């Protein structure tokens, strides 16, 4: 029988794949054979024992809405994640330490590698006659309990640090706006982070799940256009008027090594969210084909604003580029205020996207279902999401280093989740790869594992250095 819904939009598990028609059930065994390369034979998935079955569970069981969205909606989610206000920090965290040649070449290479790596979990979304709507479920199916737990830990750290980073970013924006109108009487950054956390909390209890963001994604696109175009206009204006800029890479010899490693890792942060299966879960059938369309949109149209802001920002200010680009920009106060406010509001939506997998875990675990303002669901979201925001806000207030957070997110989470694990999953599932294909995937596993470890060391070193002159809850 097909999937059913109750009056509160609750998902009810059924024996069929979510969104599968009864007349299509006979084709479900062919789901695993999607998107194989020409001449590549299908290798059946690993045999699953009872222990793995208990870990994996029924992947169609979720308190959040799935199987409802078009590929365009998924593309909008991906592009929103990539074009967050974080892009106002990448001119400094990438270009200043790589320079023109390394930065430009690195961006294009990172884009190509990220597109390819993102397609791997997308192609593995349907295995064993079912959909794997969470990244950790896919890992549990392939690796068992240990793989499930390790990936969930990595993904949770990634989403938590990215969410905390959005609070730090939003706090910086609030402080920037205050500085425009209050001069040296601006609020401390730690207070601004707490204000940002409170604002995010209000939004979190109003929007129950990822699919409920549909109308908000259009608002997000409008807000993104505002801060991107205003920032570009201010940077171009400053770049034309400014004298010759210094593009020399700053730092001591030892410092340059660590900063270069960190910046290489940072190349992948604006292009990857580390939650492909969760976004793919919202799609209508055919889920693999639709996800591929969304990914192609993300890595073509979606990267244009990223490239523009990163490259023009660096062109305008050179090695003196700030970790928040609007701090460099001169021009009318109203323009800078408009861009900052748009960046702040867009960060609220982006925070919710990154926090949704964590919200879904608790909502499903405690079977909290119903509409956005159903009393029981609303009360639960206030308690659970409120706790999540309190912890995130406190971390943001204690360590408000946005540039350092970007580096740590990229090294410890984004690189393993985007490159190491998907390539190894592909090797594990597809036994009939030729020697060249195997060598390619093992190359990615090894190289990106080394990069992850080296960049994590570099990021921790930078946080330690920056923390020496910082007092907790200071400015």
pLDDT band, residue 406 (cuts 50/70/90): low
pLDDT of residue 471: 62
- pLDDT band of 359, cuts 50, 70, 90: confident
- What is the reported pLDDT for 161? 80
Specify the DSSP class assigned to residue 331. S
Q: Would the pLDDT of 121 be above 70?
A: yes
Q: Which of 124-138, 146-160, 190-204, 386-400 has the lowest mean pLDDT?
A: 386-400
- Kindly write down the DSSP assignment for every residue of 42-79, as one continuous string: P-PPPP--HHHHHHH--TT--SS--S-B-HHHHHHHHH
* Mean pLDDT of all residues belonging to the chain: 80
Work out the average pLDDT over 256-263. 86
- Which of 9-13, 114-118, 132-136 has maximum average pLDDT? 114-118
Within 10 Å of residue 394's Cβ, how many Cβ atoms?
17
Q: What is the pLDDT of residues 214-245, one digit of tens each?
A: 788 889 889 999 999 999 999 999 999 888 88
pLDDT given for residue 21 in this prediction: 39
Q: For the chain, how far is it from start to end, CA to CA, in angstroms?
A: 59
Burial label for 24, CB within 10 Å (0-12, 13-18, 19+), is middle
Rounded distance, CA 343 to CA 88, Å?
A: 9
Predicted pLDDT of residue 470: 62
Q: Is 261 exposed, middle or buried (0-12, 13-18, 19+ CB in 10 A)?
A: buried
Q: How far apart are CA 23 and CA 215, in angstroms?
A: 33
Q: 413 or 96, which is more confident?
A: 96
Query: Exposed, middle or buried, 69 (CB in 10 Å: 0-12/13-18/19+)?
Result: buried
pTM: 0.79
Give 175-205 pLDDT, tens digit per residue.
Answer: 888 888 876 656 777 788 788 888 888 888 8
pLDDT digits (tens, 9 = 90+) for 48-98: 433 344 344 444 576 566 777 889 989 988 998 888 888 998 999 899 999
Q: Is pLDDT at 286 greater than 50 in this prediction? A: yes
Q: 82, exposed or middle or buried, with CB in 10 Å at 0-12, 13-18, 19+? A: buried
What pLDDT score was predicted for residue 252? 78
Question: Quick one: residue 140, left, alpha or beta (phi over 0 = left, psi -120 to 50 = alpha)?
Answer: alpha
What per-residue confidence (pLDDT) applies to 95?
Answer: 94
What band does 308 get if pLDDT is binned at 50, 70 and 90? Answer: very high
How far is it, in rounded angstroms, from Cα 167 to Cα 1?
A: 44
Q: How much is the average pLDDT of 451-472?
A: 78
Q: What is the pLDDT of residue 236?
A: 95
For residue 100, the tally of other CB atoms under 10 A from its CB is 13
pLDDT of 31 > 70? The answer is no
pLDDT at 32 over 60: no
């Amino acid at each position: 029988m097909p999937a059913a819904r109750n009056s509160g939009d609750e998902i009810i598990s059924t024996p069929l794949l979510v969104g599968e028609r009864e007349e299509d059930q006979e084709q479900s065994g062919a789901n695993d054979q999607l998107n194989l390369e020409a001449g590549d034979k299908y290798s059946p998935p690993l045999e699953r024992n009872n222990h793995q079955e208990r870990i994996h569970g029924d992947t169609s069981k979720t308190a959040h809405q799935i199987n409802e969205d078009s590929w365009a909606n998924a593309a909008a989610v991906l592009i929103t994640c990539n074009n967050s206000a974080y892009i106002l920090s990448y001119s400094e965290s990438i270009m200043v330490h790589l320079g023109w040649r390394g930065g430009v070449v690195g961006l294009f290479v990172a884009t190509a590698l990220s597109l390819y790596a993102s397609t791997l979990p997308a192609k593995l979304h349907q295995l064993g006659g079912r959909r794997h709507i969470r990244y950790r479920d896919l890992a549990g199916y392939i690796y068992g309990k240990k793989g499930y737990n390790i990936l969930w830990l990595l993904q949770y750290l990634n989403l938590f640090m990215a969410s905390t980073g959005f609070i730090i970013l939003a706090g910086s924006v609030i402080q920037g706006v205050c500085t425009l109108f209050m001069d040296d009487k601006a609020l401390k950054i730690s207070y601004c982070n707490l204000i940002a956390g409170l604002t995010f909390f209000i939004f979190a209890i109003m929007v129950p799940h990822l699919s409920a963001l549909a109308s908000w994604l259009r608002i997000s696109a409008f807000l993104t256009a505002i801060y991107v175009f205003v920032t570009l206009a201010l940077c171009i204006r400053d770049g034309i008027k400014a004298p010759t800029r210094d593009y020399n890479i700053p730092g001591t010899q030892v410092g340059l090594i660590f900063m270069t490693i960190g910046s290489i890792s940072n190349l992948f942060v604006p292009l990857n969210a580390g939650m492909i299966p969760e976004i793919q879960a919202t799609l209508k059938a055919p889920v693999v084909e639709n996800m591929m369309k969304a990914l192609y949109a993300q890595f073509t149209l979606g990267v244009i604003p990223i490239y523009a802001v990163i490259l023009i920002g660096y062109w305008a200010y050179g090695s003196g580029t700030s970790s928040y680009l609007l701090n460099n920009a001169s021009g009318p106060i109203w323009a800078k205020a408009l861009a900052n406010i748009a960046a702040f509001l867009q960060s609220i939506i982006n925070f919710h996207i990154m926090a949704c997998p964590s919200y879904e875990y608790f909502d499903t675990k405690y079977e909290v279902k119903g509409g956005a303002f159903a009393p029981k669901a609303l009360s639960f979201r206030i308690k659970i999401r409120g706790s999540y925001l309190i912890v995130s806000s406190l971390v943001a207030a204690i360590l408000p280093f946005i540039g350092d957070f970007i580096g740590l997110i990229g090294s410890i989470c984004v690189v393993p989740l985007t490159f190491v694990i998907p390539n190894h999953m592909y090797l594990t599932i597809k036994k009939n790869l030729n020697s060249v294909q195997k060598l390619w995937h093992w190359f990615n596993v090894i190289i990106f594992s080394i990069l992850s470890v080296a960049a994590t060391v570099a990021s921790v070193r930078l946080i330690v250095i920056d923390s020496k002159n910082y007092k907790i809850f200071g400015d």
